Amino acid sequence: MRLTTVMAWLVVVAGFVFGLNFLLNGHGAAAGFGIVDPSGYYVVKGVRDLAYALTALILLVLRQRRALGWVVLADSVIPIGDFFSVVTSGGSLAYAAAVHGSAAVLVLITAALLLRESAHAPSAPAGDLRPRPATAR
């Protein structure tokens, strides 16, 4: 197995371990993260949202629409998790549904459309930024 493949798997596993640790052991994970002031989590949330946006942007610019569809589908757990976080942490169900529920629906529809579209259209090679003609359906 190539070193880059091993390293990529380590990144994936680390993401799962850290994410699950915060979900299952929030206080311990927070202490291990090193943030004492809760407002530090705003930076963490902002950086993670920007990282997701950059991942989607890269796939969109490289015209990797099928991969983008799968990434958008996988990342639908973000607004779904946000919905449940608001509801289980004393927030309003109406607000959670209006903000995070609607975002989840939009993300899931977008993923479905991207995956449906890319199943019918040929993919451009990575790095090929030339416009592709629209295909008839």
Write out pLDDT tens, residues 21-70.
888 988 888 788 887 777 778 888 888 899 999 999 999 999 999 999 99
- Summarised one tens digit per residue, pLDDT across range 70-89 is 999 999 999 999 999 999 98
Higher pLDDT, 118 or 6: 6
CA dist 112 and 69 (Å) reads 7
Backbone angles phi, psi at 31, to 5 degrees: -65, -40
75 exposed, middle or buried (CB, 10 Å; 0-12, 13-18, 19+)? Answer: middle
pLDDT of 40 reads 79
